[in-house]
Amino acid sequence: MKLRLVPALALALCLAACSTGTGASSAVNADANADANANADGSPKELRIGYQLIPNGDLIVKDQRWLENELPGTKVTWIKFDSGGDVNTAMVAGSIEIGLAGSSPVTRGLSAPLNIPYQVPWIFDVIGENEALVAREATSVDGLKGKKIATPFASTAHYSLLAALQRAGLAESDVTVVDLEPPDIQAAWTRGDIDAAYVWTPVLGELRKTGKTLVTSKELAAEGKLTADLAVVRTPFATSYPETLRTWLRQQDRAVKLVRSDKQAAAAAVGRQLNLAPDEAAAQLDELILLDGKEQAGPDYLGTPDAPGKLAENLRDAAAFLKAQNKLPSVPELTVFQKGLATKDLRDAFSG
């Protein structure tokens, strides 16, 4: 959920990790006193979750208070973020334990110079038609030359925008890309300050009412530029509280199965969180691909401890693309991304 080396994000991360200049240092320091956060039964006293307003199972878990019910001794705190870049910043600062970030920010987080000590235990959704490039007047991507396009920097939408421009034969310098979070994109669109935007629902739905969709992330995925919304968990937290993480994973699986078994109830829950009518929430749910725990352990996704899935290859491919766009200084080895998949935690959550 990606422009000129993302200076604002880089500055924020630098400030958050000022002790050594790396993201890993601050996050590890934040977890150094993990025992102080433990209850007598070994569960954490508090679990801070970074969520986004994306119509997937995470909002169902939040709405239904399943974690609060399953972890009665733990204070569950939900903190809203507008983009994955902000989630990365929070992870570096040590202010959340679990968060939602798109595959592009996770690629950056696992790569140098950030090297955030986190792993991916769950895929919230594979992005489809719920993320797209919408224009006010242009009827094709190449028609955006010289125009102003908004997107949240360091997000999957930013990554997809760069891919869409390249696909249309445009260089980044052929357009003006501005960094705006989704709520600001909607305001800028209403004022007429931007010509186009690459963003996700629910803001995308508002832009589509008066704009034209030029390309969707589903189309780009079919050409090898797949994007997804991923869960990230700080590695020291996962090590200290494995049963809590397994409980979290089981609730996410429960939400996906609710979507499949009772779409009306799932849409009502998502609608409450997004302030949307259930039918509109249901339509937005349909634009995403949701996977249950068994599917996530398959070879096309997270895989298993003995056989990491293709998600690792996808993240490395994204790193190579971002390196070519001068957004990363180097491309990590595939093993970096394979180690970044929490396949053991996923397996343990559903074994036995």
**What are the tens digits of pLDDT across the range 228-267?**
999 999 999 999 999 999 999 999 999 999 999 999 999 9
Decide yes or no: CATH 3.30.70.1450 for domain 131-222: no
> If you write DSSP's letter for every residue of 127-188 in order, what string do you get?
--TTEEEEESS-SSGGGGTT-EEEE-TTSHHHHHHHHHHHHTT--GGGSEEEE--HHHHHHH
Task: Answer yes or no: is pLDDT of 35 > 90.
Answer: no
Is the CB of residue 240 less than 8 Å from the CB of residue 34?
A: yes
pLDDT of 20: 32
Give CATH for domain 7-127+227-349.
3.40.190.10
Helix, coil or strand: residue 203: helix
Q: What is the CA radius of gyration of the chain?
A: 19
Percent of the chain with pLDDT over 70: 90
CB-CB contact of 158 with 152 (8 Å)? yes
Q: How far apart are CA 344 and CA 148, in angstroms?
A: 44
Asked if pLDDT for residue 17 goes beyond 90, the answer is: no
- All CATH 3.40.190.10 domain ranges in the chain, comma separated: 7-127+227-349, 131-222
**Nearest partner of 58 among 203, 228, 267, 251, judged by Cα:** 251
Q: Which helix (H) or strand (E) holds 123?
A: strand 118-126
- Helices 84-93 and 7-16: crossing angle in degrees, nearest 10, is 20
- Beta strands at 148-151 and 98-102: parallel, antiparallel or unpaired: unpaired
* Omega cis (within 30) before 202: yes
Predicted model pTM: 0.85
For the chain, percent of residues with pLDDT exceeding 90: 85
